[in-house]
Amino acid sequence: MPKSYVFPYTTRSNHLSSSLIFLSAIFSILHFSLSLPNKPHFGSNLVLIGDAKFANSSCIQLTDPKISSPSSGFLIQKKPIRLLSSTTKSRKPVSFSTDFTFSISPHNGDGLAFLLVPRNFQSKFSPGSFGVSKESRYLGVEFDTLLDENVGDVNANHVGVDVGSLVSVKTSDISSINLVLNSGVKLHSWIDYDSSSKRIEVRLSKFGSSRPYDPLLVYQVDLGEMWRDEEVLVGLSSSSGKSMQTSSVYSWKFRTRSIPEWLHSQPLDPRAFSSKHSKEKLAQKRKICALGFLSGLVFMIGCGALVALIVLFLWALFDNDSETILTIPTKCTTPSGGFRYEKINVVVGDNSTDAKN
């Protein structure tokens, strides 16, 4: 059995843990953090496995350079999590964010990895790479400092995503951001998993620098489908391989969050959504048909009115077979006594008769 250490209690740490529990109740977020000031204080939710140990009250060493055989150590959260939380009404996918500061000594060991492992992993911890074996089921984000052609490593300075195998499904060269993992310099990494987009994003910078806007590596994976209702442990692991490499952790934060039901991009009941969508589509189609019929009717009435106007215009233009002539006498004498009426002759005749006259 591998040796393990549980962080001791302190009054101050109990107060901190109570505060975190209170905040978790308010925001529905699971959250824990590890930090090591000059006078460290720890909660009871972290466990050291394998060769991991305290070092000069400033960090935790995951590997021991004094051990001749390959050294492996694991810093693990004691309380497991679920990546697909179950409630009485639905199953909510869970997202998580973690960030940690670390350093790796200038040797060609396996480096350091962030791991998600089954709950019974503690009893199966092995001295191999990152403490995992070929039979292990896990998801890891490795910060690799060893070029191993057997697992298809691109170089000895890369970050990769491992899914149940040390052969990374996706890698990114850390030299592209002008950093060297095993330089002994303190580095800061951020790893985020978003359950709605099903993406893991990895960022890395020197300690003290701001969080990079663009991720160094992005990988698409559905952790809810991978783990379902199974309880999962999270941790930081390291192995020295055949070298004297030492990996040290200075701080670590991990938090999970569930997406509220009103933010779901997918319906909780697809069949209900499909039925509702079909009814809405049918109603919309009927509305379009009614509007089409009404538009056609208005168009036909307009065309009929236009044709009627054209016919009336042509009839008035060509129907000139008879005309009315009004004849007014050229002289009209007015008696001194006033006005008088005279007869006015109105002649109506054909055009042909008028032409002869």
**What tens digit of pLDDT does each residue of 16-32 get?**
344 433 333 333 344 55
Which residue spans of the chain are classified as CATH 2.60.120.200? 4-263
Choose among 27, 15, 57, 65: nearest CA to 39: 57
Considering only CA atoms, give the Rg of the chain: 44
pTM above 0.75, yes or no: no
Which residue is associated with the tokens 């330089």?
A: 183
Which range among 20-29, 239-248, 267-276 has the greatest average pLDDT? 239-248
**Through-space distance between the first and last CA atoms of the chain, rounded to whole angstroms:** 140
Q: For 40-100, give the DSSP string.
A: ----SSEEEEET-EEETTTEEESS-TT-SSPPEEEEEESS-EESEEE-SS-EEEEEEEEEE
Count of beta carbons in the 10 Å neighbourhood of residue 277: 12
**pLDDT higher than 60, residue 8:** no
Q: How many Å apart are CA 73 and CA 54, to the nearest integer?
A: 12
What sign results for the dihedral spanned by CA atoms 186, 79, 24, 20? Answer: negative
Q: How confident is the model at residue 179 (pLDDT cuts 50, 70, 90)?
A: very high
Q: How confident is the model at residue 83 (pLDDT cuts 50, 70, 90)?
A: confident
Phi, psi of 9, deg, nearest 5: -80, 150
Tell how strand 217-220 and strand 59-61 pair up. unpaired
pLDDT attached to residue 18: 42
Q: How confident is the model at residue 92 (pLDDT cuts 50, 70, 90)?
A: confident
The percent of residues in the chain predicted with pLDDT above 70, rounded, is: 65
- Asked if 96 contacts 261 with a C-beta cutoff of 8 angstroms, the reply is no
Q: How many Å apart are CA 211 and CA 282, to the nearest integer?
A: 50
pLDDT attached to residue 142: 94
pLDDT attached to residue 307: 83
pLDDT attached to residue 274: 52
**pLDDT higher than 70, residue 2:** no
Q: Which fold has domain 4-263?
A: Jelly Rolls (2.60.120)
- Asked if 230 contacts 129 with a C-beta cutoff of 8 angstroms, the reply is no
**pLDDT higher than 60, residue 293:** yes
Q: How confident is the model at residue 341 (pLDDT cuts 50, 70, 90)?
A: low
27-73 confidence digits (pLDDT tens): 334 455 665 554 343 445 788 888 888 887 778 999 888 887 788 88
Q: Higher confidence at residue 80 or residue 295?
A: 80
